[in-house]
């Protein structure tokens, strides 16, 4: 993430580059969060682990929403929530279909 912040100071008009750098910074953190919740789920059981995974899975949207609301960017909150719905819907649909079995 510091690379994206430094890039924003140096070339603030290169939005695509800054977005790419931010994605590269966040991807390893998402993997780490996923492994951490799976680890907790192994120790606490499926119900508590699933609840924790669902809660922390929406953490990025919550952080974006709070940061955007503080500066009055309501459209960014709407976009973040809409993006989460669009990306999560196929995942949930696939898990429902695959959980039914043969």
- The domain spans of the chain are 1-44, 58-102
- Nearest Cα to Cα of residue 26 among 95, 65, 66, 34: 34
Whole-number Å distance between alpha carbons of 71 and 74: 9
Average pLDDT over residues 90-100: 71
Tens-place pLDDT, residues 25-76: 777 877 787 788 788 888 888 778 777 777 777 777 788 788 889 999 888 8
């Amino acid at each position: 993430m510091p690379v994206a912040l430094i890039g924003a100071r140096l070339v603030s008009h290169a939005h695509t580059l800054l977005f790419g750098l931010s994605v590269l910074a966040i991807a390893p953190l998402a993997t780490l969060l996923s492994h951490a919740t799976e680890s907790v789920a192994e120790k606490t059981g499926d119900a508590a682990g699933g609840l924790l995974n669902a809660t922390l899975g929406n953490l990025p949207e919550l952080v974006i929403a709070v940061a955007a609301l503080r500066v009055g960017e309501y459209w960014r909150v709407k976009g973040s929530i809409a993006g989460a719905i669009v990306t999560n819907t196929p995942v949930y649909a696939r898990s429902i279909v695959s959980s039914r079995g043969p």
